[in-house]
Amino acid sequence: MKIPEILQVETPQVPGSLASVLNVIADAGLVLEHVTTLRREQGRTLWEITLEIEEGAQEDLLRRLSSLPSARFVGWSDRVFERHRGGKIEMRSRIAISTQQILRDIYTPGVARVCLAIKNDPAKAFDYTYVGRCVAVVTDGSAILGLGNIGPRAGLPVIEGKSALLAALVGLSGIPILIENTSTDQLVDAVRSIAPSFGAILLEDIAAPRCFEIEHKLRARLSMPVLHDDQHATAVVTLAALLNATRMTGESLEGLVVGLIGLGAAGLGIAQLLRSFGVQRLVGTDLRPEATGRLAQLGGQGLSLEETLRRSQVVIAQTGAKGLIPARLIRRGQIIFALSNPDPEIEPADALAAGAVMAADGKSINNILAFPGMFAGVLRARATKFSDAMLLAAARTIAAAAPAGQLVPDPLNGTVHEEVTAAVAAAADAGAGAGAGT
């Protein structure tokens, strides 16, 4: 598996010195992600170079760099670890507790009035507590970010990251909730028992197939929004990208054959949303018969990998299997989305070279564009569930926000998240009491 590494190299300030280092990296077959200058002094420059490298390949790269007379390897940067040191989130008071009066208002005796008001009208919790801005980010660590079943504590950096994004992009408090890998019913009971502390539940990195049952049971037993991010937020961004891809190719998405390679949480979530959007012909493949059975329940057809690629005009892969799709099976004019991270089923450049009209991977088509605004919108509307109408509104909004010629907008464009929030809230208000949940 490729991992991002940050290399520090010092070179003299002469023409071609950095180029020689970059040539070594290219000759080693590595993908360069970023180059920045750390400092320049006494005629030498210290560079920080971010690249993708296979685990265990560092020694070969250092051996190649040591052959350069003008470059000096300084070390591997710990920048990533430093940004995680002490965790990425924290709980802070929104009120400066600077006087006795403030203390008495926010705690005893003043707080009793607020408690009694909520007892008499539970909806007031949204006005006078942080419930209306708080999301539980729940995982059992069974399907962490392309790493697999590494357990909840090892997956905490991912869940912290999700919480940090909710805070930074839409001002919500995301609280990581780690649950040891227990039975489905035990996990459901654990989430139900803590649900009153939150306004919504975000299920994250829970492996298929039990993620489907967990989400279904929680939605049935809680009067609050519950969403498995890997299914539905991924589906929203994928649909947004497809809307722009088919607009650029002049095709109607509803009339195309869409092939899904990998029918886990993301694959089936995409299938469900595409069906809701109006796509009539879905085919797909998975090693597990029960997965193709779930596709059949959505009106799709299970096929082999080769047959799925042969029949599909749009191919969406979510398997976690690096290099699964051979370039020889790509048909001219296909749209190829290989979305597994960190390594796609086929590199977009290879798919384009094989004849695909458009190709992308999970680095660009990423659910970060969807989930912050989706949760902010459902909480703004005080809705009790997510609906297909809300997900479709989010997808159309993300698609409309993309610059000309691009499939999706920049996730750090703050206006996108506010637009998604507003669209989801409007869809929730329009469908209040009338729509079926996803």
Q: Is residue 217 annotated as part of the catalytic site, yes or no? A: no
Task: Convert the chain into a string of H (helix), E (strand) and C (coil).
Answer: CEEEEEEEEEEECCCCHHHHHHHHHHHCCCEEEEEEEEEEECCEEEEEEEEEEECCCHHHHHHHHHCCCCCEEEEECCHHHHHHCCCCCCCCCCCCCCCHHHHHHHCCCCHHHHHHHHHHCHHHHHHHCHHHHEEEEEECCCCECCCECCCHHHHHHHHHHHHHHHHHHHCCEEEEEECCCCCHHHHHHHHHHHHHHCCEEEECCCCCCHHHHHHHHHHHHCCCCEEEHHHHHHHHHHHHHHHHHHHHHCCCHHHCEEEEECCCHHHHHHHHHHHHHCCCEEEEECCCHHHHHHHHHCCCEECCHHHHHHHCCEEEECCCCCCCCCHHHCCCCCEEEECCCCCCCCCHHHHHHCCCCEEEECCCCCHHHCHHHHHHHHHHCCCCCCEHHHHHHHHHHHHHHCCCCCCCCCCCCHHHHHHHHHHHHHHHHHCCCCCCEC
User: How many CA atoms lie within 13 Å of 141's alpha carbon, on the beta-carbon side?
Assistant: 16
What is d(CA 411, CA 419) in angstroms, rounded to the nearest whole number?
12
In the set 107, 217, 363, 385, the catalytic residue is 107
Q: Is residue 128 annotated as part of the catalytic site, yes or no? A: no
What is d(CA 188, CA 192) in angstroms, rounded to the nearest whole number?
6
- Whether the CA torsion 137, 272, 263, 219 is positive or negative: it is positive
Going by their DSSP bridges, the two strands 31-41 and 44-54 should be labelled as: antiparallel
In the set 88, 162, 217, 385, the catalytic residue is 162
Catalytic residue numbers read: 107, 162
